[in-house]
Amino acid sequence: GTELIPNNALARLDAKGWPEGWPAGRQARIVQDEGGRRLVCSGAGAGVGFRIPLKPEYGRLRLAMQMKVTDVALGKESWETGRLTMSFHDAKGARIGPWPNVFGMTGTTAWTACERIYPIPEGAVTLALSPCNLGASGTVEFRGLSLTVCRLRARVKADAPLPPGADAEPESLADAWRQTTATRERVCLSGLWRFRPVLPEDPAAAVPRPGDCWGWFKVPGIWPHGEWMPESGVQQVWLAPWLEERARLRDVEQAWYKRRFTVPDAWAGRRLTLTFTMLQTHAQAFVDGRPCGEVWYPGGELDLTGHLVPGREQELALRVTARPLTAERNAFMAPDRIITDKASVNHKGITGDLFLTAQPAAARLEDVQVITSVRDRRVTFAAETAGLDAGPWRLRAEVSERGGAAVARRFESDALAPDAAGVLRFNAAWPDAKLWDTDTPQHRYTVALSLLDKAGTVVDTLTPVTVGFREIRIEGRDFLLNGLPVHLRALHNTTSVSAADKASRSAALEMCRRMFEYGFNAIIAGNYDFTPGSVSYLDGLLEACDETGMLLAFSLPHLKDFGYRLDKPEMAERYRAQAAWLIRRVRNHPSVILYAMNHNCTGYYGDQNPQKIDGLYEIP
């Protein structure tokens, strides 16, 4: 881009050794050594002040430099440091826009590379820029100072180009991760989606047209906090330039996602569903611009049968709203310490993986829970079903060792009939199962469960689930893992309530490694409730704990978020539905050995104090 600092390479010096084209400095000089020429500002108040003209078409500036301070003492104010100051001004000389986030240092440092992008406020005609020492003493040095125009201001609405390095066809399903059985297929829709924040003037239920400022964002992804600048947040939002410069994007609560793809021809005649594994907090779906259903927090399944047509390229759009379900929330520390404040959604957007599934339209399996008993050396398969008559039906489970293709065990039931809840259940002996525990987490199995009709024909086969053969129980005061006492050394952990860099599988694996190194063997999930936005991405932590043998206490909803009124039928039903969804989500993970409910609710202030540990304490 265009360089705005004249003679920024310090190539031309006048007779006094000062850069040509630069304004006069204060206690400043140019020094040359083997590293080249550099600006040195010695003493309090030293520096150089530039007034850089800005053209109307300039949109963003990139500042790059190296900076070093020596014995710089902080002044009376926090901003009185060695720094490069910046401020934008209008035609009358008045400062406009927020104070830019500039670089400042105190003490003594080595050379530090500094680079940052700054949006130019609308109406700015000059930039005041000064490499200087605002500290009480010391020396500040700069070299390689550069200020370039990195983006021109958008004049018309247009969609953003693909981010650098993105696949040429990010919306195609051809190379998407998938699981396939004889009767169904599950395709992951995670990855880049077209993305556009909802603007106040947008119509409520109309998908924005192509060319109307669509950008890009990932699924799963957490919307940035504050202003949505290209460099803000761990996961970058690629906004259309026109939208970046004109829209007020602080505290965005609604955004559009969309993607064009073709459902495979082989899916004809099947039931097609879209599954959200974590949603903050509501999504309305549109296929080719027509509304076709909605999903609420924390997630669930949306039936798109009849809306998506196999063999036809179509557009799936999702209008996601990230708002709290109640106006206020309670921060519950103990019965005598309850803080009420305004409810908000911390982690916004589609924060879990998204799956498109084709499954049988009639009789089918919905899910399976694999229950293992080390004492009895038996395994139970509890299969939830849909569309079944009285039967008889049979279940067949084919079990492979994790990562192996060959079937290690095959279990098949006798004739079964679904119970009142539509569940088919059978158990079988498994005397030689390899046990999953903290020392042998590699002992995991993959289970493929099939439903057979009375003629022995396979009606449905679920996509495989991964399990571990283990048993956790309480005997007296002991926790027993696989029949042996286990002493839980647990630590509160915030992995699943953090941004993407901490919630990812790779980060969770590193966290587990360090925890084992420090002597911990268990985690208390850091969400002490399950309110909208309290959790970001669950699967990174769950997979890491399974893989490493880290034990996990999984947090369920807190009764405070149901008004403490689980005695009311409607509240109790809401609680049951959310708790059941979450348990169904994690129940086959061998690392999940405990469910934690209503954190701190039965404690009291000072309950770790030995003088009050007998519980004889009256709430003031």
Q: Is residue 144 part of a domain?
A: yes
Q: CB count, 10 Å around CB of 38?
A: 19
Domain residues for the domain of 412 are 362-470
The answer to whether residues 333 and 313 belong to one domain is: yes
The answer to whether residues 210 and 330 belong to one domain is: yes
CATH of the domain at 425: 2.60.40.10
Provide the domain count of the chain: 4
CATH of the domain at 515: 3.20.20.80
Q: So what's the pLDDT on residue 338?
A: 46
The answer to whether residues 303 and 327 belong to one domain is: yes
Residue ending a domain, choose from 294, 328, 357: 357
Structure-token pair, residue 10 = 């310090």
The answer to whether residues 435 and 492 belong to one domain is: no
The answer to whether residues 89 and 207 belong to one domain is: no
Which single residue is written with the structure tokens 């700015």? Answer: 124
The answer to whether residues 148 and 193 belong to one domain is: no
Residue ending a domain, choose from 417, 444, 470: 470
Q: Is residue 431 part of a domain?
A: yes
Q: So what's the pLDDT on residue 297?
A: 93
Please spell the DSSP secondary structure of 433-479, one letter per residue.
PPBPSSS-TT--EEEEEEEE-TTS-EEEEPPPEEE-B--EEEETTEE
Which stretches of the chain score pLDDT less than 50? 230-232, 328-329, 332-341
Provide the CB-side half-sphere exposure for 460 (13 A, CA): 25
Q: Is residue 63 part of a domain?
A: yes
Q: Is residue 1 part of a domain?
A: no
Residue-wise pLDDT tens digits, 365-379 = 999 999 999 999 999
The answer to whether residues 369 and 339 belong to one domain is: no
Contact 385, 364 (CB under 8 A): yes
The answer to whether residues 570 and 451 belong to one domain is: no
The answer to whether residues 326 and 447 belong to one domain is: no
Question: Residue 447 and residue 426: Cα distance in Å, rounded?
Answer: 14
The answer to whether residues 307 and 441 belong to one domain is: no
Q: Is residue 290 part of a domain?
A: yes
Question: Residue 318 and residue 349: Cα distance in Å, rounded?
Answer: 11
Distances in whole angstroms, Cα of residue 178 to Cα of each of 82, 255, 356, 497, 521: 54, 27, 9, 27, 33
Q: Is residue 610 part of a domain?
A: no
Residue ending a domain, choose from 357, 391, 410: 357
The answer to whether residues 185 and 331 belong to one domain is: yes
Phi, psi (5° rounding) for residue 31? -120, 145
The answer to whether residues 243 and 377 belong to one domain is: no
Q: Is residue 440 part of a domain?
A: yes
3-state SS assignment for residue 337: strand
Q: So what's the pLDDT on residue 499?
A: 87
Q: Is residue 604 part of a domain?
A: no
CATH of the domain at 299: 2.60.120.260
